[in-house]
Structure 1
Amino acid sequence: MNNQPGSERNLKYIMHRLFNLGLNREEVPPGNPGSFQHEAWIRKILKEKASKRADLKTKLDDVLFIILDTETTGFRPEHGDQIFSIAAAKMKNSTVIEQYHQFINPSVKIPDEIRSLTGIIEDDVKNAPTLDEKAEEIFRFLSGGVIIGYHISHDVAFINHYLWKRYRSSLKQPSLELALITEKLVGSSAFPTLDSASSYFDIDCCNRHSAQGDVLIMVDLWRSLLDLCREKGIETLEDLYVYIK
């Protein structure tokens, strides 16, 4: 048995990494951490977990949708821009069943234009946890559903950049773009911003450009879009994918 402090720290790091990737304690594979067999087992389990998510034949009312929004210090995670606020809401059959919001200490300065846009300043995040400290909590919340959001590729890019850099992994579930869904279902207008979609459906835009505020706006938007889906006979995930492609 190896009782060296360095080995213990390495084992704790590896265990923390596994839990952050969405594995429960009973799912942590046996064997030598870091070995080829061990890594292969991890990939196998993650693939199995992904396969248990909603398939294309699932009724929309039975799908767990996770509305996601982040606030970031810029637009280029590969150039050092960071998440400093993240919010999400789990919805099923038009009902919010759970919400999440967390300020994140980005360890970099929030640019003036971002502070002006979001109303979030350094004092709001300087004592907040880092993304490393909240990763397990955040990714457990985001697991198991279809992620949706306005300009969601931005949010997913930041999260996947973090996951790849830290764990050589990425989000396993699909994501859907609310701007595209809105344009396809309405069929007569372009909706380049969340404000334009909210205005069309007479949704109040409270706390706009805060992650938590934007998620609540998107909750109301998604309810309106689900109503349109029902009117158009769009019943399953497959129906929705076919309609918006």
Structure 2
Amino acid sequence: MNNQPGFDGNLKQFMNRLFNLGLKRGEVPPGSPGSFQHEAWIRRMLKEKASRRADLQTRLEDVLFIVLDTETTGFRPEHGDQIFSVAAARIQNRSVIGEFRSLINPGIEIPKEISLLTGITTKDVKEAPALDEKAEEILGFLSGGIVIGYHISHDYAFLNHYLWRRYRSSLKQPALELALLTERLTGEGPFPSLDSAADYFNIPCQNRHQADADVRIMSSLLMNLLRLCIEKGIETLEDLYIHIK
């Protein structure tokens, strides 16, 4: 038995992190939280969880789409820029079935020009959790579906930079670019910004460049695009992939 002070609290915290990834109690191995074995095990489970995704023959109404947006201090994670806000929504059968949002303490100052754009200042995130504290919850929310977003490569670049540094791993689930999807399904465009795509469908754009607001806009955009899929006879995930090639 381990009688070190705080051991029970650390174990409970670690177990909660694992359950946030979507794991069941029977899937959690014995051992000490924070050990090398556990870190390696987390990386393996990230890969396995990501692999449990929709089959190409799945009908679109059964596909889980996960709309994702992050706000960051800049555009270069490899140069030290950090995430300071994350939001996401889980959508299935053209209905929102779950939402996530959190400010993140980036550990650095948010540049003034970014604060002007987002309305979020360094003071606003001072008491927010660090990404280490929210990572497993975020990963759990993103698991099991197809991640979708506007300029999604930006969000993936930041999350994968963090995952590589922390776990020597990366997001494995597929991602769809909303700009491309909008262009292919409408047959018009280009749509270089979320504002342009939203304007095409008369979707209100309030509080732009705030992650939760942008996710709401993107969710409405996705609903409209899925309606177009129905009109065009696009029934399965494979049909969709073929259409957007």
TM-score calculated relative to the size of structure 1: 0.87
Partner of 1:211: 211
Query: Which secondary structure does the structure 1 equivalent of 2:206 belong to?
Result: coil
1:34-183 matches, within 5 Å, as 34=36, 39=40, 45-183=45-183
Deviation at 1:187, TM superposition (A): 1.2
Counterpart amino acid of 1:90? R
The 2-side partners of 1:197 and 1:212 are apart by 18
Deviation at 1:52, TM superposition (A): 2.7
Partner of 2:232: 232
The 2-side partners of 1:186 and 1:173 are apart by 26
Does the CA contact (< 8 Å) of 2:62 and 2:93 recur in 1?
yes
Percent sequence identity over aligned pairs:
66
Does the CA contact (< 8 Å) of 2:17 and 2:136 recur in 1?
no
Does the CA contact (< 8 Å) of 1:89 and 1:97 recur in 2?
yes
Counterpart amino acid of 1:133? E
Counterpart amino acid of 1:240? L
Query: Which secondary structure does the structure 1 equivalent of 2:58 belong to?
Result: coil
- Structure 2 regions of 5+ residues with no counterpart? none
Query: Which secondary structure does the structure 1 equivalent of 2:69 belong to?
Result: strand
TM-score calculated relative to the size of structure 2: 0.87
The 1-side partners of 2:156 and 2:137 are apart by 17
* Change beyond 3 A, Cα 1:115–1:47: closer
Count the aligned residue pairs: 241
Q: Note the aligned Cα RMSD (angstroms).
A: 2.7
- Structure 1 regions of 5+ residues with no counterpart? none
Deviation at 1:29, TM superposition (A): 3.9
Counterpart amino acid of 2:175? S
The 1-side partners of 2:185 and 2:145 are apart by 22
The 2-side partners of 1:23 and 1:163 are apart by 18
* Change beyond 3 A, Cα 1:228–1:96: same
Instruction: Map Cα deviations across residues 47-88 of structure 1 (whole Å, 9 max, x no partner).
Output: 443343211111110011110000000011111100000000
Query: Which secondary structure does the structure 2 equivalent of 1:135 belong to?
Result: helix
* Change beyond 3 A, Cα 1:42–1:112: closer
Does the CA contact (< 8 Å) of 2:74 and 2:82 recur in 1?
yes
